[in-house]
Structure 1
Amino acid sequence: MSQPKRRLRQLFTGPSRSLLPLVMMGCVIGVVAGLVMASFIALLNLVLGWLNGATLEDFESLSWGWRLGLPVLGSVLLILLYRITPTSAQTVGLAYVLERLQFGRGRLPLANTLFQFAAALISLASGHSVGREGPAIQMGAGVASLLGQYTHRPPSQLRLLIGCGTAAAISAAFNTPLAGVLFAMEVVLMEYSILGFAPIIASAITASAFTSSLVGTHSILTPTRLSLAHYGDIPSLLLTGILLGLVAVLFHTLVRLFLRLPLESRAARLLLAGVITGCLALLVPQILGSGYDTINATLSAQLPWLLLLLILAAKLIATAAAIGLGVPGGQIAPMLMLGVCAGGMVGAWVPGGSEPGLYALLGMAAMMGAMLHAPLAAIATVLELSLSAEAMFPAMTVVLTANLVCQHGFRQPSLLLTLLKQQGRLLQTHPLRAALAQRYLSELASFRFVEIDLTADHNLAAILAQPLPWLVIRQAEQCYLLKRDVLEQAYQQQDPEQAVTLAELLAPLLNANRQLQELTEDTSLLAGFKILQKEDIRGFLIPVGRQGMGLVTRRRLAKMLTSDESMY
């Protein structure tokens, strides 16, 4: 292999912790995620075009038979898809990505990503009340995870690359790179990292540019310039935030009700979701699909408030049923539609000189921020959709108020945490515990030790001649950690005329205070600290991929917490 090729390979596969390899990986992820999303969008538009014509989301033009039967047909197809898919590949969605980040070291299997691609196409094309952003995030994160695993990235860098995949997918699907970056850091990674911004931004802008070059300008929501008429409308903004917070609480309650329905069969739950959606669509066909045409019409103040109220009520039930009963799809697009309908109604009611479309736009952001606890991503969405910095002040006012009502007034958790809790997974939300749960012992592992099995013969002089500082001694089922200097000192104190075996020399040195715990798999720093609280041990032996067993000492863990060393 030539020298330039060797250097290029080392740049992507080596253990370098510099920023440049991560930025370059972010760009690669942006291109691959953009290609995947362009394929997904093209296939989805092909099916929607066949159903609805040039206006892809025009489910309202379907006959009553199609309105009723299409979601049920989609449920039947999903049931068949689940039947032919291995159980291990059936868990998908944004909540699954978060679960893999905290409990699965950021490893997203290819099978789950492929299943999400097919299941999302069926759900969205059949009019279920779900969105495309959840599947987009799963696919983008899956692509990033696979590339990270192929290049042997450590878990901390792997989760950063998943953030890149998330931002790339949102940017490619909605042409909103800023919202994609903030969503990745606020909702998925749940932290803001100076090092993380550069690769995530690189991934978002690469995906947006690459997707646009393939499918052209594809903004789903029509950009609209809206701004506050005057500061006398602030009371109306506060009222909008309060009402949107209450709508978010109601929606969360409905989702929990459907989650708790005593139906064990997945087929029964999917069929029930299809029947509920189909029956509601007979009266209110606007609830079918993601509803972007309805969102655009509301933003331009084309719909009366009474129709918005009817759509809001039906969409609340249909979306809660889809999410609670397990239809594979995203939650954000339905949230945006719920918010835009509620905000549009408020805009028609409250006094003031601001346009009703402004309240619809603010309601959309408030609903997203309150349900996902992602105020910055919601505000960024307003900024990119309104094309006006003047919308920032009212957006911050309404989003903050809605978050206070939902999160602190009624103590509602993020919808994603509710979905994970239903699956028996509790994510760490305390900042310190969350940080420790997202990093792994393998990232601190050292391989500078000699392993000695006392059941075999060893040359003591050869062991002491090695420059490695640590000795890992196996005796029966126990492991012990010893500094090479300690063994060397004990050897020098022996009578040179008296021959002793290695086992005899080590016997007085192998006490309980020098024990190691051997783990069968890598585990988080949080789990490691919990073990150290219970056990008086010197550290851990852990498997580290192809590198074999690695050593993590108690002192190394303490140094990690007290030094400025980066884990990336």
Structure 2
Amino acid sequence: MNQARNLIRRLFSRHTGSLLPLVMLGVLTGIAASLVMMSFLLILNATLGGLNGNNLEDFESLAWYWQLGLPVLGSALLILLYHFTPRNWQSVGLAYVLERLQFGQGRIPAGNIGFQFVAALVALGSGHSVGREGPAVHMGAGIASQVGQVTGSPPSQLRLLLGCGTAAAISAAFNTPLAGVLFAMEVVLMEYSLLGFAPIIAAAITASALTGALLGEHAILEPVQLSLASYQDIPGLLITGLWVGLLAVLFQRLVLVFVRVPLKSRSLRLLLAGTITGVLALAAPQILGSGYDTINIMLNEGLPWLLLLVILAGKLLATAAAIGLGVPGGQIAPTLMLGVCAGGIAGALIPGTSDPALYALLGMAAMMSAVLHAPLAAIATVLELSLSAESMLPAMIVVLGANLLCQHGFHLPSLVITQLRVRGQELQTHPVRTALAQRYLSELADMSLVHWNGKGVPPVTRAPVLIVQRDQHYYLLAAAQLDENTSAEELDKLLTPGRRLQLLEQDMSLLEALRSLQGEPGAGFLVPVRRGQGLVTRSRLVRMLTEEGGLY
């Protein structure tokens, strides 16, 4: 097993700076993520089919006591699952992926992936108001992390592979490769790079093709053809964008209200989420589950605006409770349903000549974009799910209004960043600091080190530098500065604070390293690497930051 792993590592590390190995890793990630997502979808669809028949999301047809009790039962099963799962495997979702990406070198434990797999099945199968997208991102990124660790990828490549896994999982689960690529770039990696596009696209295409070949067509939303009837409706679209933006603000505020509910016990929080969802389902059973059946009905047949208002209110509370109280599911599908209800209400009440279903479709994109700060991914998601390219221009108008209100009117970060801030973790969003925070010293380490304890005759070495250990400190000296006649007194004069090295117990990001060097006269770092220790000097950091392409 170890021999095979070492062979794989040599294969992919031979040309670490070239594009072809990254594309090959993207394809490998796409295959692995696709297989996992197909397994997840088959089990989930079998569970929902057993409950609701051929219409998998038809929770409305269940008896009232099932509508009330199913989410509570799901909460009870989740409590048992949490009880028997090690604590270090229990973190889930998109926020956890971003946390591992920036603070954990992109390493996601295999046990954590398995927990997300089972927990998401329970939450989605029991009708909790969550989506499958967050679990898909988590599982795809986790599989990618495992692929990267097996192949010995450095942290920067591991980070890129998490983007590949995200795109592959979304593409496999929803047959939306373009949306998967944009979501990975816009929400997970938070940057666009030419180097990243090729492997991420390769992963998305591979996952989509393999899933389509094995499962056949599995589109979630039925295709619709909707277009703007008249440019005179553009003011109405702007109003719709502002209306959806206000709902996005309210949604985030409600999530924080439930996050801050004074219940420390996870069991009580999960039971409260299940109870709230079950009670609300008695008034509006459409809120149960992801809600794709209701979205399809609204886009193809339409619903009365008063019913949409009831569903919107119930879904808003149920989803905020589920996310805020810790139900392990995603938030994209619920935001799409919130958006379709809000857009449908706007289309029914705002004067205009366009089909109200168009407003419902645009509301989906606006809500997703405003909540996640992902305008391109939101537009691509709606366009790919609906196959309605004519809605591109009006979608851009509505998304613009919603995003402006949330980001510049209320200065709200995305929901994912808000969730991390509640945990006391602040993501770097400035592009330069983000790049520095997501690359690590081990990628710059020089392995040709010669150590000397400072006693006796200095060793004869061809290495240009020498690491001298004295009084539990390490110093960096040029080998040319020493010879066999160097006395102890002369050596002491050379071992100045400016030549001292920081001995690190674990790898450090470039951002942390630069902060550590601020105001310090040290020469650099001794970094733990796979084969022992590596050296990163202050001058090496400066060259990396100032040379063309040094960060990539």
Report the TM range for the smaller structure's normalisation: over 0.9
Q: How far apart, CA to CA, are the structure 2 residues paired with 1:80 and 1:184?
A: 33
RMSD in angstroms over aligned alpha carbons? 1.5
Q: Percent of aligned pairs with the same residue?
A: 66
Report the counterpart of residue 175 of structure 1 in structure 2.
175
CA contact 2:225–2:390 (8 Å) conserved in 1: no
**Which residue number in structure 2 is paired with residue 497 of structure 1?**
none
Paired letter, 1:467:
R
Query: Which residue is equivalent to 2:514?
Result: 529
Query: Cα gap change, 1:301/1:235 in structure 2, threshold over 3 Å: closer, same or farther?
Result: farther
Residue 520 of structure 1 aligns with which residue? 505
The offset of 1:565, in angstroms, is 3.4
Give 5+ residue unaligned stretches, structure 2.
none
Kindly indicate whether residue 545 of structure 2 is the aligned counterpart of residue 550 of structure 1: no
Distance 1:130 1:548 in 2: 45
Contact 1:156 1:567 (C-alpha < 8 Å) held by counterparts: no
Q: Verify the 8 A CA contact 2:311 2:341 in the aligned structure 1.
A: yes
Q: Secondary structure at the match of 2:474?
A: strand
Determine which of 472, 476, 493 is the counterpart of 1:477: 472
Report the secondary structure of 1:237's partner residue: helix
Which is worse superposed, 317-326 or 391-400?
391-400
Note the C-alpha offset of 1:8: 7.4
Distance 1:14 1:537 in 2: 33
Aligned amino acid, residue 391 of structure 1: S
The code of the aligned residue for 2:10 comes to: Q
Deviates more, 1:92-101 or 1:215-224: 215-224
Q: Distance in 2 between matches of 1:433 and 1:228?
A: 41
Equivalent position of 2:264 in the other structure: 264
Amino acid at match of 1:104: G
Matched, 1:428 2:413: no
SS at match of 1:114: helix
SS of the residue corresponding to residue 528 of structure 1 reads: helix
Q: CA deviation at 1:278?
A: 0.3
Residue by residue, what CA displacement relative to the aligned partner does 1:221-269 show, whole Å, maximum 9, x if unpaired? 1121111112111001101101000000110110010011100000000
Structure 1 position 564, deviation (Å): 1.3
Instruction: Tell me by how many angstroms 1:567 deviates.
Output: 4.2
Contact 2:9 2:150 in 1 (8 A): no
Tell me what 2:481 maps to.
486
Please say if residues 226 and 386 of structure 1, whose CA atoms lie closer than 8 Å, have aligned partners that are also in contact: no
Distance between the aligned counterparts of 2:453 and 2:207, measured in 1?
52
- After TM superposition, the structure 1 stretch with the greater mean CA deviation from structure 2, 334-343 or 533-542, is 533-542
Asked if the contact 2:219/2:385 (under 8 Å) is kept, the reply is no
Partner of 2:206: 206
TM-score (structure 1 length as normaliser)? 0.94
**Partner secondary structure for residue 447 of structure 1:** coil
TM-score normalised according to structure 2 size: 0.97
Runs of 5+ unmatched residues, structure 1 = 495-499
Kindly indicate whether residue 149 of structure 2 is the aligned counterpart of residue 143 of structure 1: no
**Partners in 2 of 1:559 and 1:23 — Cα distance?**
28
Superposed CA offset, 1:315-344 (max 9, x none): 000000000000000010000000010001
- 1:434-479 CA-partner distances (Å, limit 9, x unpaired): 2211111111111122111236x5x53xx33x22111111112111
Query: Residue 24 in 1 paired to residue 24 in 2?
Result: yes
**8 Å contact kept, 1:443–1:567:** no
Deviations 1:196-233 (A, max 9, x none): 00000000010001111121111111121111112111
| Conservation of the 8 A alpha-carbon contact between 1:171 and 1:204 | yes
Alignment-derived partner of residue 278 in structure 1: 278
Would you say how many aligned residue pairs link Structure 1 and Structure 2?
Answer: 548
Residues 1:365 and 2:365 are matched in the alignment = yes
Q: Does 1:12 align with 2:15?
A: no
Q: Does structure 1 conserve the Cα–Cα contact (< 8 Å) formed by 2:26 and 2:161?
A: yes
Structure 1 Cα separation of the partners of residues 332 and 100 of structure 2: 20
AA aligned opposite 1:240: T
> Which amino acid in structure 2 is aligned with residue 114 of structure 1?
G
How far is the alpha carbon of 1:302 from its aligned partner? Answer: 2.4
Instruction: Report the structure number with the largest CA radius of gyration.
Output: 1
Q: Deviations for 1:389-410, whole angstroms, at most 9, x for unmatched residues?
A: 3211111111011000011101
Give the corresponding residue for 2:524.
539
Residue pair 1:138, 1:166 contacting (<8 A) in 2 also: yes
Q: Deviations over 1:62-115 (max 9, x none)?
A: 001100100000000000000000000001110000000000000000011000
Structure-2 residue corresponding to 1:559: 543
Q: After alignment, is 185-194 or 350-359 more displaced?
A: 350-359
Q: 2:84 is matched with which residue? A: 84
Question: Could you report, residue by residue, the CA deviation over 1:133-170 in whole angstroms, capped at 9, with x for unpaired residues?
Answer: 00000000000000101111010000000000000000
Name the amino acid aligned to 1:419.
Answer: Q
Q: What SS does the corresponding residue of 1:336 show, helix, strand or coil?
A: helix
Counterpart residue identity of residue 295, structure 1: I
Contact 2:305 2:344 survives alignment (8 Å): yes
Corresponding position: 1:321 with 2:321: yes
Equivalent-residue separation in structure 2 for 1:428 and 1:226 (angstroms): 39
Q: Counterparts of 1:160-559 in structure 2 under 5 Å?
A: 160-454=160-454, 460=458, 463-464=459-460, 466-488=461-483, 494=485, 503=488, 506-544=491-529, 546-559=530-543
Q: 2:144 is paired with a residue of what secondary structure?
A: helix
AA of the residue aligned to 1:197: F
